[in-house]
Structure 1
Amino acid sequence: MKNQDPKNMNDNAETREQALPQPRERALPQAHERALARVRGRALPPAQEQTLSQGRKQALIAVIDTIFDRLRKTADSHAPLSARELEVILRAQMHQEALKAQQAQMETPAPVRKRDLLPFYQQQKQQRSALQQGWLCGDGLEGPRDKGQNNTGLAAELDAEATAELEARFIRSVRMKPRRTASGVATITVITRPHTCSSNCIYCPCDLRMPKSYIANEPACQRAEQAFFDPYIQVASRLRALHQMGHAVDKIELIVLGGTWSDYPVSYQLWFIRELFRALNEWPTCADNVDTRMDWYRSFGLTNQDTELQRFVHDAQEQVNEGHISYNQAFKKLYAHNKPHQDAWSHMSCSADDLLDEQHKNESAACRVVGLVIETRPDTITPRNLTLFRRLGCTKIQIGIQSTYQHILDANKRNTSCAQIKRAFSLIRLFGFKIHSHLMLNLVDATPESDRADFVQFVHDPGYLPDEIKLYPCALVAGTQLCELFEDRRWRPYSANVLVDILVQDVLAAPPFVRISRMIRDISSSDILVGNKHTNLRQIVESRLRATEKGDMVGQSAAEKGNAPERPADNKLIRVQEIRFREINQQQVNAADLHLEDVCYHTAVSEEHFLQWVTANNRIAGFCRLSLPDWERIDAGGCDVTADELAVAPGQAMIRELHVYGQALSLGHEGASAQHKGLGQRLLAKASDIASQKGYTRLNVISSIGTRAYYRHQGFVDDELYQYKLL
């Protein structure tokens, strides 16, 4: 039987049923059933909906009734319930249910949990039940009241507006994991299929089920493997999960991980990105296509069952772990001549025009891409690859640096030089991308002192100066070359106190234009032989920072570094300038309390302006990264390229990032967050003024596919790789 291209699997249901064989019936272990449920994003599986007892249903109704009642009584605040207020409601209901059970001499039922509330509410909304209408209209169990002829004209509009706000406050009150969209955008991480890597770092995990450097037990990797590494399935599943947790999903940042992106064939790169866009363009119906696409992979004989996958890689994995063969050699042994994989992978290609079609659709889709992140290594950064990244829609590049010291890079077999890294940074900056770099602590031959100095150099040397940093410690994982060094006592992990102390000092040393995005890898503690196993390392570091802010720890403010005006002396958190520590997140913002700061700094090839909206206590509500290329330095060999290889010309400035914080709201909805106070427009105006005063005649912006319409409204016009306006 000939297998269809996955692009066409959703076009015709009848053809699909004929073309795809029925999957074999097999009993799945309970853990696998749970994993599949997580992958498909089903917070309340159909079986659970059907078996929901009347008592359980009444308990859910009672809790939701109480929440809506509390929200109405505090309508003037426009705020959701606090976590504490919600906890009090849930505990009161639990106590009430326990009393009922005791009186009836029955077993106490399971308590209503926060995660139960939104799926039940959405189920009632989907069914257009009287319950849901009653909650919104204020009539509880009696259903919606009859407003008669009064519910017309302006009164109807005001009533609809109040109802929409009430529902939004309810969702914000019961939303799971609110931090996921606290920056204003919902993030979806996807993983590429297993592939060879042209490097062989000694600390890098070699899990043959994954792209090199990733481990099957990492959450994103588990989801990807269950989805056969299919980009469409991964996005559709995460969209459903985010939606069911109450998050807006119309502004999406896609993060594509998998080691070194440029090592994959270009045809696969085009196909993978096209499928990401297709899934977003087809939301919400894309979630209904997941099972069909899963069956398509099974029709080749592929599996996503953990025991079978372990069996598939077992012998080769043992050889890798014992050091007899490399990851690349084992990969070729497993996959190069494996018919199921090769047959399925042969369909994973498309043309640039196919991708372009999906990108055009996404400009006005319900789920728009407002950021696309790709991961690669410094030695793969070339003008040609960067041009391809822009055609894919990429706006940010994750790049593994690990250290700025050559002897440490050599000791860890990084196969890259500091000169290559600096050249890569210059090229990435001149092409307009955001620079999200990886820096590691506790590498072979590193010391706590050298790690502190390494970070300071990284954020102050004009050859580097990243925008974001993943700053995490090295950990020992089975199958890596680091195991031998550990056995020989040539490498040891830092103690918890030493590690936290280094991270605290690094946060204090970070300038105001740097964001430390993460401090750990998502590696399961069971996979870490020795090293940090704290999943809340960032929280530990911030707790130490807040505690020491009241003491005598030495730290410098941005003003002391010459980067910003002096701040009030009584501001206890002034010494921490790092972005993530200062983000307003879900807080309400009064635009009158904000002022605009211009943090100017120089790189090897540009003058950078970090424009930030900050409050009186230095909390950041939004920022813009304006880059002014220095053509004298470029012509003098600042990045070892000619002007013809660059995508910009003399006289052209570049906006590399525009971001305004606040809880993500659906497009078209107003709110009290910073995103809805015109802060972005004023940042653009300030950037235009600075570029014009500096003699630049054109302002480019590295817009995402889903933000093109926004920039058109701001006076920018489309060009081949960027949008621009004349100054």
Structure 2
Amino acid sequence: MDRRHPDAPSPEAAILDLAAELRGRDDLPDERWLLRFIRSRNAGVTDTSRHLRKRRLLPYLLAREEADPGHWERLGVDDACRERLVTLLRAKPRRTASGVATITVISKPWPCAGTCRYCPCDLRMPKSYLPDEPACQRAEQNFFDPYLQVSSRLSTLHAMGHPTDKVELIVLGGTWDDYPAPWRRWFVSRLLEALNDGCGAEARAERRSVRADYLARGLSADAGTRAGECAGLQREVSRGALAYNAAWARLYGGDPRWQALAAVQRAGWDRVEAAQRANEGAACRCVGLSLETRPDAVTEGSLAAMRRLGATKVQLGVQSLDGDRLFASDRSADADCVARAFSLARRHGFKVHAHMMANLPGATPEADKADFARLVGDRRFRPDEVKLYPCALIAGTALERDWRAGLWRPYTRDELIDVMAADVAACPPYLRISRMIRDFSAKDIVAGSREANLRQAVEDRLAAEGRPVAEIRQREIAGAEQDPGSLSLATFPYATADTEERFLSWQAPDGRIAGFCRLSLPHGGGVAMIRELHVYGRVSELGQVQPGAQHRGLGRALVEEACAQAAREGYGAVDVISAVGTRPYYRRLGFFDHGLYQRRQLKG
């Protein structure tokens, strides 16, 4: 690796050199080795614009493969070597290390029934989101169109070397149930249609067609143009002279371009169901659909509609269970409302993902710790997943005016890490903290934590103090290899207001988990419910076995154990809240389609 190249090598030559290096060794080199390899190829090339870049090698490999499927094989790169090359060149491997490729999409700007004092009110976005957040940037660049957001992201993940056969869709932006029902059906239909088209030529042609239609309507995806369109009204909103909803009505409600779009962005259930049937056998399957709403918007009817769309998880903006803090923040949903929403969602089989916020108006560090302890300890709550993040002061919010008046202050760094560490330490083993910081840009935060690696700081504090952590995210094996023979199946039971819950997990000797299953046993008997099944490890392409835990029968064994436990407790059947793309999997395990769920009868 010490050869000098006065002329910049081509990506093809570099890939063939890499293949030769890999054939000569048994192990897979690490990132540092790869960077040294690339630097050696760039040595002596004075024009840095002609340097090789890691991020360009894998897209080149995949593009040549797509244009000429036999190209690399003819040059001596067999399938095994090709897989090792993709693994070595893959960018940001953590993105699919938890077992699925996650794609976040943002819904269009829309009026919100809430008036929370800390909530950003940027007219370019649905309320509470900012244009500089990565997912929001992608949404704006794609006209908030669901097909464009998913299809372009699929293409990017594919170019980065990530398998995209299993995709979890996360829909964020305001309150899902505030949007018109025909639009919601259209939105989900287009999400699934993007997955069904995959990453090939058909998807590229459809993206070009959809973009051309938006441009023909006079709409712009340029951030600067949209900022200019919103500027005047945004200034009024930021100084508190105009409410977000009133400004939205002027900006979007009175714009014939957006009104014309609303007339065509509609769909019936027939289109949703056609997209779902196609996705069952698609190359990119939806293995999870998460929708965001407010606790006070949750009803039997809203959950049934979400389920018919194929949703498997509901994200609920809780923020706090303390009445005084909620009142000080102008929040409408109290603890009883949250408890009712949790109960309804769990009875419908949904995974419950709560958003909690530290440092709200009126909070203290000790009160925040008690608030989180109540969330995870009170039988009326006990969510499956949590977004736990500090309140950040964003310019133009009502909280900014409170701050300037001396009515609110951000926690110091030490106070904040102390609160977050206490919360993580209080987590039971069935709970996963998905994130600890919003994706707000540091320049958007007037006061409060700007620490992008807050989770790492919290984990470091816990490690330094020797406090054990049971929370799932710190225990998942991610992309690591694990000998299935070393795993043991453990059951952690806990009670909620309406159910007896069983958290079944495959555990390694060091406490890490390779997969888990959430089983709900409703009080009073009847039908049990599998609310989630997840096996960790690098996403494996359908029909192939990759390193990690997936495709080794661990999921099947979890399902069988869940059914056995339900039968022992006297339940006659088990339902599963399957995603659209996992329906064939559960059919192979003996489940049959049953209304909005899939069911297996149990032997008495």
Distance (Å, rounded) in 2 between the aligned partners of 1:584 and 1:107? 42
Distance (Å, rounded) in 2 between the aligned partners of 1:184 and 1:614? 16
The answer for the alignment partner of 1:490 in structure 2 is 407
Distance (Å, rounded) in 2 between the aligned partners of 1:429 and 1:584? 27
The aligned runs of 1:383-402 (5 Å cut-off) are 383-402=300-319
CA shift, 1:62, in A, is 4.5
Distance (Å, rounded) in 1 between the aligned partners of 2:187 and 2:594? 24
The answer for the alignment partner of 1:277 in structure 2 is 192
Is 1:119–2:74 an aligned residue pair?
A: no
The answer for the alignment partner of 1:18 in structure 2 is none
Is 1:407–2:324 an aligned residue pair?
A: yes
| Residues 418, 228 of structure 1: alpha-carbon distance in 2 compared, 3 angstrom cutoff | same
Is 1:86–2:26 an aligned residue pair?
A: no
Alpha-carbon contact 2:99-2:537 (below 8 Å) kept: yes
The aligned runs of 1:410-449 (5 Å cut-off) are 410-449=327-366
Residue 369 of structure 1 aligns to a residue whose secondary structure is strand
Q: Which runs of 5+ in 2 are unaligned?
A: none
Alpha-carbon contact 1:335-1:341 (below 8 Å) kept: yes
The answer for the alignment partner of 1:586 in structure 2 is 479
Is 1:679–2:554 an aligned residue pair?
A: yes
State the identity %. Answer: 45
Judge which range, 122-131 or 351-360, deviates more: 122-131
The answer for the alignment partner of 1:463 in structure 2 is 380
Distance (Å, rounded) in 2 between the aligned partners of 1:708 and 1:73? 43
Distance (Å, rounded) in 1 between the aligned partners of 2:118 and 2:503? 35
| Residues 88, 392 of structure 1: alpha-carbon distance in 2 compared, 3 angstrom cutoff | same
The answer for the alignment partner of 1:306 in structure 2 is 223
Amino acid at match of 1:449: E
Residue 426 of structure 1 aligns to a residue whose secondary structure is helix
Alpha-carbon contact 2:290-2:312 (below 8 Å) kept: yes
Residue 492 of structure 1 aligns to a residue whose secondary structure is coil
The answer for the alignment partner of 1:530 in structure 2 is 447
Amino acid at match of 2:280: E
The aligned runs of 1:82-231 (5 Å cut-off) are 82-94=30-42, 97-98=43-44, 101=45, 107=47, 111-128=51-68, 132-133=72-73, 137=76, 163-231=78-146
Is 1:254–2:169 an aligned residue pair?
A: yes
Distance (Å, rounded) in 2 between the aligned partners of 1:702 and 1:165? 37
CA shift, 1:687, in A, is 0.2
* Aligned mate of 1:610, from 496, 503, 510: 503
Structure 1 vs Structure 2 CA RMSD: 1.7
CA shift, 1:400, in A, is 0.4
Distance (Å, rounded) in 1 between the aligned partners of 2:563 and 2:64? 49
Amino acid at match of 1:493: P
CA shift, 1:543, in A, is 2.9
Is 1:658–2:598 an aligned residue pair?
A: no
Distance (Å, rounded) in 1 between the aligned partners of 2:414 and 2:51? 39
Is 1:628–2:521 an aligned residue pair?
A: yes
CA shift, 1:129, in A, is 8.2
Alpha-carbon contact 1:658-1:680 (below 8 Å) kept: yes
CA shift, 1:665, in A, is 1.6
The answer for the alignment partner of 2:575 in structure 1 is 700
Amino acid at match of 1:250: D
Distance (Å, rounded) in 1 between the aligned partners of 2:341 and 2:187? 24
Residue 443 of structure 2 aligns to a residue whose secondary structure is coil
Alpha-carbon contact 2:538-2:547 (below 8 Å) kept: no
Distance (Å, rounded) in 1 between the aligned partners of 2:103 and 2:246? 32
CA shift, 1:132, in A, is 2.3
Is 1:233–2:148 an aligned residue pair?
A: yes
CA shift, 1:288, in A, is 2.5
Distance (Å, rounded) in 1 between the aligned partners of 2:64 and 2:437? 39
Amino acid at match of 1:472: Y
Distance (Å, rounded) in 2 between the aligned partners of 1:251 and 1:129? 23
Whichever of the two has the greater Rg, that structure is 1
Alpha-carbon contact 2:107-2:173 (below 8 Å) kept: yes
Residue 550 of structure 2 aligns to a residue whose secondary structure is helix
Distance (Å, rounded) in 2 between the aligned partners of 1:165 and 1:545? 41
CA shift, 1:308, in A, is 2.1
Is 1:361–2:254 an aligned residue pair?
A: no
| Residues 443, 595 of structure 1: alpha-carbon distance in 2 compared, 3 angstrom cutoff | same
The answer for the alignment partner of 2:18 in structure 1 is 67
Alpha-carbon contact 1:181-1:664 (below 8 Å) kept: yes
CA shift, 1:84, in A, is 2.6
Distance (Å, rounded) in 2 between the aligned partners of 1:107 and 1:721? 60
Distance (Å, rounded) in 1 between the aligned partners of 2:13 and 2:34? 13
CA shift, 1:110, in A, is 5.0
Alpha-carbon contact 2:540-2:551 (below 8 Å) kept: no
Offset from partner CA, 1:324-371 (integer Å, 9 cap, x none): 111011111111121111011211101111111111111001111000
Amino acid at match of 1:258: G
The answer for the alignment partner of 2:565 in structure 1 is 690
CA shift, 1:225, in A, is 1.0
Residue 215 of structure 1 aligns to a residue whose secondary structure is coil
Distance (Å, rounded) in 2 between the aligned partners of 1:587 and 1:306? 40
Residue 356 of structure 1 aligns to a residue whose secondary structure is helix
The answer for the alignment partner of 1:478 in structure 2 is 395
CA shift, 1:545, in A, is 3.0
Q: Which runs of 5+ in 1 are unaligned?
A: 1-52, 139-162, 550-554, 556-574, 632-649
* Aligned mate of 1:545, from 462, 467, 475: 462
Offset from partner CA, 1:286-335 (integer Å, 9 cap, x none): 13221221111122221122232122111111111111111011111111
Amino acid at match of 2:559: L
Residue 674 of structure 1 aligns to a residue whose secondary structure is coil
Distance (Å, rounded) in 2 between the aligned partners of 1:667 and 1:595? 26
Distance (Å, rounded) in 1 between the aligned partners of 2:463 and 2:334? 37
Distance (Å, rounded) in 1 between the aligned partners of 2:68 and 2:130? 43
Residue 662 of structure 1 aligns to a residue whose secondary structure is coil
Amino acid at match of 2:140: E
The answer for the alignment partner of 1:45 in structure 2 is none
Distance (Å, rounded) in 1 between the aligned partners of 2:317 and 2:106? 17
Amino acid at match of 1:182: A
| Residues 107, 306 of structure 1: alpha-carbon distance in 2 compared, 3 angstrom cutoff | closer
Offset from partner CA, 1:504-555 (integer Å, 9 cap, x none): 2221111100000001111111111111112121222223333433xxxxx4
| Residues 544, 74 of structure 1: alpha-carbon distance in 2 compared, 3 angstrom cutoff | farther
The answer for the alignment partner of 1:719 in structure 2 is 594
Distance (Å, rounded) in 1 between the aligned partners of 2:12 and 2:583? 43
| Residues 505, 73 of structure 1: alpha-carbon distance in 2 compared, 3 angstrom cutoff | farther
Residue 365 of structure 1 aligns to a residue whose secondary structure is coil
Alpha-carbon contact 1:205-1:215 (below 8 Å) kept: yes
Offset from partner CA, 1:161-201 (integer Å, 9 cap, x none): xx333222211111111111001100111111110001110
The aligned runs of 1:25-64 (5 Å cut-off) are 55-56=7-8, 58-64=9-15
TM-score by length of 2: 0.96
Residue 190 of structure 1 aligns to a residue whose secondary structure is strand
Distance (Å, rounded) in 2 between the aligned partners of 1:344 and 1:671? 44
Alpha-carbon contact 2:140-2:223 (below 8 Å) kept: no
